[in-house]
Each structure stands twice: as structure tokens, then as C-alpha cells.
Chain A
């Protein structure tokens, strides 16, 4: 096994310098859950590991001006249990609460899950549905990257080798919006998702759809939204037939991948079901909808 040098910079600028010097052969460590596995299985052999543990300020969760910010080292369980996140971004809390198991959630971080760009993960779909952005620090300073442009392929991000994802910024949707993250696992409950569906719905005064956002994760290399399908829901009542239509449009509009959790055909059929259910549940959770929708189930 390789013996990497271990760095503990206390500023992001130092961290970026170290990464720059190693020119792509160093890895950033946050919670370490994924990287430890990759090292143990010898899937990566970095010359250096750059731990962010001594950089101050990366464990903060803050809210100001309609935006919540999450430092790179905020853990999954911090997000899942944070009262402010529950109140303002329930979709995000829901997605982080179902990752892996309690021990993994205690260690794994917000920065880590995005920078690793593992397709079979829950938070990226929710972050895409919420129009989140990553603040990235590199040798030339900070830049912002929207979720759509951050994850560009199978375990691939738009980050350069000397850039560090320092913060994730999430605009808070209107309070009246309803949302739901549904994780479908094909094997055990603690498994990684076969399909994840993150939906956000806002209703107009007459009960028709004013806004729909739906991101499907784990079914393709990168989480997907289909803007034209989202727009097609606007102005319509989200009854069962419209929900089925939207589920069909997502199922037929993506190219699912194949892995141990499902064939492409199976995934497509599961997207059909879980996209529909996620939108339905988000609609039920819209403020004031509890009494209006007779049967309260997400089926």
C-alpha cells in the first residue's frame, strides 16, 4: 500500500496550495467514510491526503437573507437533526436522514458527499431540486458552481484538482411549498438508493400547480431534472392522472444506468412509481393541503 503524506492545513489557502503542488495526486479528506473505503480497497493511491479538520469555520450552519449555508465539514446527522433545517429545508433534512446508517451519518459530511459525486447517494438529488450552489475555493480564490454544473459525470465534478468545496448554499423555498424525498432501496433498508426522488411543489390560490421541481437521483450518472416536464405541470391540478403523466415523463425521459441495485428497465419502472409518489407527497405537504386532500397516503 502506498504511504501518502498527511497534511493538516489550518487555512483553505494553504490547503489549495498543497493540492496545487501535488497536481492531482492528492485527495482532500473531510469525514473520510468514502475515502477510507477507497483506500482500503486500493481503488485510489494518493501521494498525499489533505485533511480539512483544522480549518476553522467549516462546521457552521447559518441562515441569513433567505439562504442557508452549510460548511464542508457539517455532518449528515447535523443536517438531519438541525431544527432550523427541519423548519426551512425539510427536503434536505429528509434526504440526509436516510443516508447509510447512524455511524456513517455521524461522520460523512456535506462537502464530502458532493465532492465525491457518488451517483448512488441521496443528498445530491435534494440539493439539485433546491437549486443549491457550491462555493469552491481554489488558487484564484472563490467561485460559485450551481448543482447542475457541479456534478458532471460518474463520480466526476467540475472541481479542478486544486479546488476545495468549502460551503454549500441553499436558497430557502417559499414557506407554503411542500416537499418530499423518497428513497427506494432494492435490497435492505440501509442500502444505497436504487432510485431517489426529490420533489418540491407550490400551489396557486386555486389549487393548481404554481411550481414543480423534481430531481431523480441514483438512477443515472448524475441527478436529473427535466425542466420541460416540470413546466408542463404548471397551471394544472395535480390529480392522480397528472401525477402518473409526470412519472411517465420522467421514466421515459432519462437513460437509467445498470448496477447491482437494478437493471435499466427496472430502474425506469421504479422512477415511474417513485417520481409520481414524491410529487404526490410534496403536494399533500403544501401548507393548507392536509384537509383538502381526502386520502392522506402517498400512493
Chain B
């Protein structure tokens, strides 16, 4: 920072890098409050993987087009590679590791992906799963168009799209059927 620049009055209005070259960010990750030191231009994806060991978010294209780095913030799907970690104060991040604890039951979406074997190498799977989780929390009974829209930024280079769509529609239709049954009652 140049000497000519005066700092603003409120101390909470500025973050200057310390000797470690980092600034502090306070956020919640998979339900747990975290106080992290991050480089000012570091991506959320790198912080999740390198500091917290949450490698379910993957680096693919690095430019927000492939969806492998998808995480949820306040239940909305975002690209970890297009998000600056230092600006994430107050974020409520969920990675695929936060959906179920590894010993407990899988979510309905995860079960459907397993049931339909909706993957080959699985590199893209956490992104697809989180995209569908985000859609379902906004629209509990999505139609096929809504599912396709939610998957618009997700690439599967193995080409498992038909199985992924089958898993997603299984969930969407199942919920629709359940919903319409509830309405009939």
C-alpha cells in the first residue's frame, strides 16, 4: 500500500496483509465456524483443499466452466475457483464432505447417484451432487428443464450424462410423486 493512502476510520473496514502475507476471514464450513488466514487473492477452492483438506471440491478448468469446484454458500451453488476466500466473511459453505459424515446415511441425491451408477471416474460427481442439492433446496420439485439449468455449468468428461440425468430425474420425479400424493390427501 502506498504511503499517500490514509486508512479509513473503521478498523473493520480494511484488511491489510500481515507478515505472513495473509488476512483473516471468518466463515462457517460444513457447520463448523472457522477463522482462517488466507492470501488476499487466494480462491476459496484452494483454501478448502489446502488448509482444510476438503478435497471433494476439485480443480478442473479453473475458469468457472466445468463445475468440479462447486460448493454451496447459503445453499446456493457457486464456483470455488471464482470466489475470493478473503471476501467470504459470513459465508456458510458446504462441501460434499458436509452432506453426510461418512459413517451416517447418504443424502437422497447421493443414494440416487449410487443407485444409477451415475459416474465413472467420479471427478465431477461432487459438483453434480451439490448442484442438485442446491436446486432441491430452492425448488423441491424441479422439472427436467430446471435440472438441466442447474447442471448447465457441469462437465462430465467420461460422458455419464444420461446416468446423471436419470439419477437426478429419479429424485425430482420421486419428490414430485411424493408431493402430489401429499396434495391428494
B16, B84, B152: which contacts A190 (Cβ < 8 A)? B152
Using Cβ atoms and an 8 Å threshold, which residues of chain B touch A148? none
- Does A37 lie at the interface of the complex (its beta carbon under 8 Å from any beta carbon of B)? yes
Q: Are A32 and B2 in contact (CB under 8 A)?
A: no
Complex Cα spacing A37 to B113, Å: 31
Query: Do A104 and B14 contact each other (CB < 8 Å), given the known contacts A14-B8, A190-B153?
Result: no
Chain B residue, CB-CB nearest to A104: B64
Q: Are A101 and B65 in contact (CB under 8 A)?
A: yes
Chain B residue, CB-CB nearest to A107: B78
- Does A33 lie at the interface of the complex (its beta carbon under 8 Å from any beta carbon of B)? yes
Query: Do A40 and B153 contact each other (CB < 8 Å), given the known contacts A8-B12, A21-B5, A104-B64?
Result: no
Using Cβ atoms and an 8 Å threshold, which residues of chain B touch A35? 84
- Does A22 lie at the interface of the complex (its beta carbon under 8 Å from any beta carbon of B)? yes
A5, A48, A53, A104: which contacts B87 (Cβ < 8 A)? A53
Using Cβ atoms and an 8 Å threshold, which residues of chain A touch B64? 33, 37, 100-101, 103-104
Minimum CB–CB distance from A193 to chain B (whole Å) comes to 15
Minimum CB–CB distance from A105 to chain B (whole Å) comes to 9
Chain A residue, CB-CB nearest to B154: A101
Complex Cα spacing A40 to B4, Å: 27
- Does A92 lie at the interface of the complex (its beta carbon under 8 Å from any beta carbon of B)? no
Q: Are A3 and B21 in contact (CB under 8 A)?
A: yes
Complex Cα spacing A25 to B2, Å: 10
Question: Total interface residues on B, using CB and 8 Å?
Answer: 42
Q: Are A103 and B40 in contact (CB under 8 A)?
A: no
- Does B86 lie at the interface of the complex (its beta carbon under 8 Å from any beta carbon of A)? yes
- Does B10 lie at the interface of the complex (its beta carbon under 8 Å from any beta carbon of A)? yes
- Does A293 lie at the interface of the complex (its beta carbon under 8 Å from any beta carbon of B)? no
Minimum CB–CB distance from A127 to chain B (whole Å) comes to 22
Query: Do A102 and B150 contact each other (CB < 8 Å), given the known contacts A3-B21, A8-B14, A10-B13?
Result: yes
Q: Are B12 and A6 in contact (CB under 8 A)?
A: no
Minimum CB–CB distance from A112 to chain B (whole Å) comes to 12
Complex Cα spacing A292 to B52, Å: 62
Complex Cα spacing A156 to B5, Å: 26
- Does A36 lie at the interface of the complex (its beta carbon under 8 Å from any beta carbon of B)? yes
Using Cβ atoms and an 8 Å threshold, which residues of chain B touch A175? none
Main secondary structure of the interface of B (DSSP, over half): loop
Chain A residue, CB-CB nearest to B1: A5
Minimum CB–CB distance from B43 to chain A (whole Å) comes to 6
Chain B residue, CB-CB nearest to A34: B82
Complex Cα spacing A54 to B89, Å: 11
Minimum CB–CB distance from B8 to chain A (whole Å) comes to 6
Using Cβ atoms and an 8 Å threshold, which residues of chain B touch A53? 87
Q: Are A10 and B82 in contact (CB under 8 A)?
A: no
Query: Do A14 and B82 contact each other (CB < 8 Å), given the known contacts A6-B23, A37-B64, A103-B77?
Result: no
- Does A47 lie at the interface of the complex (its beta carbon under 8 Å from any beta carbon of B)? yes
Q: Are A3 and B149 in contact (CB under 8 A)?
A: no
- Does A18 lie at the interface of the complex (its beta carbon under 8 Å from any beta carbon of B)? yes
Q: Are A104 and B8 in contact (CB under 8 A)?
A: no
Q: Are A103 and B13 in contact (CB under 8 A)?
A: no
Using Cβ atoms and an 8 Å threshold, which residues of chain B touch A104? 64, 79, 82, 153
Complex Cα spacing A37 to B62, Å: 8
Q: Are A102 and B82 in contact (CB under 8 A)?
A: no
Q: Are A102 and B84 in contact (CB under 8 A)?
A: no
A2, A4, A48, A103: which contacts B82 (Cβ < 8 A)? A103
Minimum CB–CB distance from B168 to chain A (whole Å) comes to 13
Using Cβ atoms and an 8 Å threshold, which residues of chain A touch B86? 6
Those 8 A-B pairs whose CB atoms lie nearest each other, nearest first: A101-B153, A6-B15, A101-B152, A103-B79, A3-B17, A33-B82, A39-B41, A21-B5
| 11 CB < 8 A contacts A-B | A4-B41, A25-B2, A29-B84, A33-B82, A39-B41, A40-B43, A47-B1, A47-B2, A101-B64, A103-B64, A103-B131
Taking Cβ atoms with an 8 Å cutoff, the residues of A that contact B are 1-10, 14, 17-18, 21-22, 25, 29, 32-33, 35-37, 39-40, 47-49, 51, 53-54, 100-104, 106-107, 189-190
Taking Cβ atoms with an 8 Å cutoff, the residues of B that contact A are 1-2, 4-6, 8, 10, 12-17, 21, 23, 39-41, 43, 62-65, 67, 70, 76-79, 81-84, 86-87, 131, 149-154
